Structure 1
């Protein structure tokens, strides 16, 4: 996919040595996070947004990709920023939110900003994906849950069942690490989300170790809120959150 490209930028001004690693979601690509990344780069942050393994190509590629490769790619983006920045934040959408929190559990991040992070499945069939993947290769797409008309995130047209099984393993592993997430955490949560159930938020609230934890409701967006009606709210509030915790305000 020509539009699904990794993105990196150098910082400038008072934020020249403050980084933000940005992560897209499951079956999607960097398309869903490019506007947010551009906004942060224009504000002066160093930004690194990788295209995760198995994404931005075909759903068959994703079906052959273990979850550890998704984490490897995002952790590498964080580590690259940490080599040239004094403070690094992590940000993500959906599965990207789970990956951001996993990095925060394992590394000293300045803070976390996530949008509709996933930890539980809305589809009850997902728990059987380890068995179903042997007889069912894919299911209809989960992408483009966007309220604003005429906008597409360029997600896969099919969801590979084998990858759902890998996602489940990632989530189980990350949930166990949530008490180790102690960095300030800002969560944007859509009031209507057809992909991630509210049980994901309940679990996150119950398990996260962060003393500073804020949930910001998004009243006019669906799951892919970074491309929806509340995108500017996400961008500006996350910028202010990062600046404050980097000591730039």
Structure 2
């Protein structure tokens, strides 16, 4: 049985968001892995004019293309990509789901305030140009129109009614220090999803970009074991 993995990045992001996990899977398996770039996304953002329907269709096209080449498809989704992964599981045959910082709810004000406070401190000390969080989000702050954010929220609301219908085996990974998706969102999803075969991993030090967290190697191996089965 040949296996394919479709990895879907997050809102206003790109394939780089899941790259560490993708590289790990490529090193450990012979699976065929596809990481599409959603419309308007990538290293350079051009989101104006694109809608939730575009992003869902991008994912469907990528799924169909991969499904023609392999016997089984696994879908991995980061942030908004996690919600798109659930959408695909509702509509298509998906062997397993992996949800990374899945954005069923978004913006954790407490953690975001801490992050902003840290940025302000580094700005005062003139170290801001070296801060990874600032560099990662500076581009997004300047290049994400409100209309695109509204479409992201529409996408989440579109998929939410179907959580209980998702019965695929699922592994959920969530950082407790996530400033974008409140960490309790993972427990909410775990409780809402209809699957009986589901797992939940909390990273104590993980932030939103969970594939770059300090303990990522721990959950990389656990997720791979889950995907490979008994």
Residue correspondence of structure 1 range 95-174 to structure 2 within 5 A: 95-122=80-107, 151=132, 154=136, 156-158=139-141, 159-174=144-159
SS in 2 for 1:210: coil
RMSD: 2.3
**Normalised TM-score (structure 1):** 0.75
1:54 is the counterpart of 2:40: yes
CA distance in 1, matches of 2:89, 2:32: 18
Q: Distance in 2 between matches of 1:188 and 1:168?
A: 21
- Whether the aligned pair in 1 keeps the contact of 2:108 and 2:179 (CA below 8 Å) is no
Partner of 2:123: none
Are the structure 2 counterparts of residues 207 and 68 from structure 1 closer, same or farther at C-alpha, using a change threshold of 3 Å?
same
Greater helix proportion: 2
Of 54, 79, 87, which aligns to 1:94?
Answer: 79
Q: CA separation in 2, counterparts of 1:123 and 1:191? A: 10
Residue ranges of structure 1 left out of the alignment (5+ in a row):
1-14, 125-140, 142-148
Q: Structure 1 residue 41 and structure 2 residue 26: aligned? A: yes
Q: Distance in 1 between matches of 2:206 and 2:43?
A: 27
* 2:55 corresponding residue in structure 1: 70
- Partner residue of 2:9? 24
- CA distance in 2 between partners of 1:75 and 1:97 (Å): 14
- Please name the residue that 1:189 is paired with: 174
Secondary structure of 1:171's counterpart equals helix
CA spacing shift, 1:166–1:123, aligned 2, 3 Å? farther
Change (3 A) 1:150 1:123: closer
